[in-house]
Chain A
Amino acid sequence: MATKKYLTEKKNVIITGGAGFIGSHLCDELIKISHVICVDDFSTSNIENINHLLQNPNFIFIKHDLTKQIDLDEYNELDKFKVKFQGIQEIYHLACPTSPKNFDKYKIKTLHTNSIGTINILELAVKHKAKFLFTSSAVIYGPRYKDSPRFQEDYQGWVNINSPRSCYDEGKRYAESAVVTYRDIYNIDAKIVRIFRTYGPRMSLFDGHMLPDFVLQALNNKPMIVYGDKNFTSTFCYVSDIINGLVRMMNSNDKGPINFGHYEEYKMMDVADRIKEKVNSQSEIVFQNPLLFMTPLGLPDITLAKQKLGWFPLVGLDEGLDKTIEDIKANQHLLDPLIHKYEEEREEEKI
């Protein structure tokens, strides 16, 4: 690709949801070559994820709730990146509350972010003629479909618009519609990717994602809780592969939608087993009622990503788990005081 010259020599890139799990890894990657403007309001994300970036001269954090209009002129700190002159070149829109366990608490926020929030950030993209990438989700396809468990991008999905979780599922579908409409009408270079289940360091704990909790539970010989039964299966893509895909997508001419996910399907129980083995734990694996927002999801067909972007996941489950375990071990001193949360949960369940 031809390298364009910018006033500041670097692209100005906005990452919404940049303090989240995937967002913060994207910040880490893009800061190597760009100015990163991270927009987040910490609704379900954590400042710990970007702490190490706050001192970086190529990084600016803006605490902002996307459901309110964003006016970059209000932020004087952006003068450092000459935003008034150079504008914004790329926007990665990742923001959306994600909390399987406290899903109810964020329902309105989820609804507003997917709708009003997405429109607000699209307006910004129009204003700056910025390239735009929206991270949609596997949930837009709905539950697994008997005949073909792997979803291709042209499958239109089967989603309940009135379910308790439709603010997320249908919200993501609406957001895709918003992206496509803005692309048509305002002729912006807007792209859509659909991300399947992802894991890795910084994934939030105590929130029903299971996989990171397995690690902490195993390290402390606490029961490892599977929400669902023995047959709960899913695919697990390591976060670095997803980041690689997002960057490739932004740099390509393709508009998507394109699936990003891992091809291998595992039983949640087997993942727990593997983690248990890896950390030499005495934990037992227990099963609890499934969470509304932690469903098996369909499996991705990733042919298109390979064909159009040359993308294919490189990190296998063992390698990814090792890295995730390393990260949680490194933060263990911070996490130890919180372990009791798991027991409280078990108590609740008994009542």
Chain B
Amino acid sequence: MKILVTGGAGFIGSHLVDRLVKEGYQTVIIDDLSSGKRVNINKSAKFYKIDIVDKKIKDIFHKENFDIVFHLAAQKNVRTSIIDPIYDANINILGTLNILENCVKNKIKKFIFTSTGGAIYGDAKVMPTPESYLPQPNSPYGIAKLAIDNYLYFYKLVHKLNFVSFRLSNVYGPRQDPEGEAGVVAIFIDKILNKKTLIINGSGRQTRDYICVDDVVNVFINAINKKVCGYFNVGTSKEISVIDLYKMLAKVSRTRPKIKHGPPISGELKWSALDAKKAMKNFNWKPLISLEVGLKYTYQWFKEKYEKKSKK
């Protein structure tokens, strides 16, 4: 079976590719390395450096004849989408439609999309939030992801394209980029290792549902052979405040990092947690990695990388 992973040099994508290769799938990566990194690219996977918006993607689809497509390539920064909605829509809507059109023309068996939970549901009144909750995205990023979710319904209806859309909660783990705005875990760990002050936006009581990248990859892998279509939340159902996260990281790193409260960020979600029962049932899956274990392991990964760098 041949599998395409767009964004396969990125944080989640590269973990997915590593697993696909390990499980024996022929794996191809499309990534323009705008935020993905070359070091993350699995050597056993075939790599095309190209933007998902590029029309030449057509040639790759013709040549490779994929069975399944995982679409992870995206503009992932919520704040960027607020500043420049057209830029965001160009990649996250038009780029994705470019991939989808090619999927239809080449009769791909299944399209697996990485959507988002928090940014789609907004500050939901139901916690943890199920898929049935009426989406009300509060950023262009969330709007674009929801638009694709709606397009997927159309592609299924009209073109019979099987799809799974995973609405992810806040994913953390090794290789997450501490430079970007997304990924408070990576940002905090980076600051701890560099002995810098952690900045907490607002009170720190805002909550998120943190899930370890390995658990996300597990559900992706399980989706390959299951014959279900639809939208599935992927999260732990647990709300963790930024303050709690800070405390846990202090414990895991055995340090006492300094904190400073910054002004709250307008438009940022106050709370978020996803009800993932539907995914658990349909994909015979459950999150295995507790936050403590996941943070410990992520911290260790960053620490080793940091130590290697300082040796050089």
Contacts and interface: CB of A to CB of B under 8 A. Distances in A.
B76 interface: no
Nearest to B215: A310
Given A312-B293, A312-B296, A314-B292, A306 B254 contact: no
A318 interface: yes
Interface of B: 214-215, 218, 254, 287-290, 292-294, 296-297, 300
Say whether chain B's binding surface is mostly helix, strand, loop, or mixed.
helix
Interface string A313-340: 1101011000000000000000000000
29 contacts: A263-B300, A306-B214, A306-B289, A306-B293, A306-B297, A307-B214, A307-B218, A308-B288, A309-B288, A310-B214, A310-B215, A310-B287, A310-B288, A310-B289, A310-B290, A310-B293, A311-B293, A312-B289, A312-B293, A312-B294, A312-B296, A312-B297, A313-B296, A314-B292, A314-B293, A314-B296, A316-B254, A318-B254, A319-B254
A310 B296 CA distance: 12
Nearest to A309: B288
Given A308-B288, A312-B293, 9 more contacts: A306-B214, A306-B297, A307-B214, A307-B218, A309-B288, A310-B293, A312-B289, A314-B292, A314-B293
Contacts of B214: 306-307, 310
Nearest to A253: B284
A316 B297 CA distance: 12
A311 B300 CA distance: 14
Contacts of A319: 254
A124 B41 CA distance: 49
Contacts of B254: 316, 318-319
How many of chain A's residues touch chain B, expressed as a range?
10 to 19
Contacts of B288: 308-310
Contacts of A307: 214, 218
Contacts of A312: 289, 293-294, 296-297
Contacts of A309: 288
B135 to A, nearest CB: 30
Interface in A128-177: none
Contacts of B294: 312
Contacts of B296: 312-314
A312 B254 CA distance: 17
A318 to B, nearest CB: 7
A167 B296 CA distance: 37
A306 B254 CA distance: 21
A307 B15 CA distance: 12
A322 to B, nearest CB: 11
Nearest to B254: A316
Contacts of A313: 296
Contacts of B290: 310
A156 to B, nearest CB: 17
Interface string A283-325: 0000000000000000000000011111111101011000000
A249 to B, nearest CB: 12
Contacts of A263: 300
A263 B294 CA distance: 14
Interface in A175-189: none
A152 to B, nearest CB: 10
Nearest to A308: B288
Nearest to B214: A307
Nearest to B298: A312
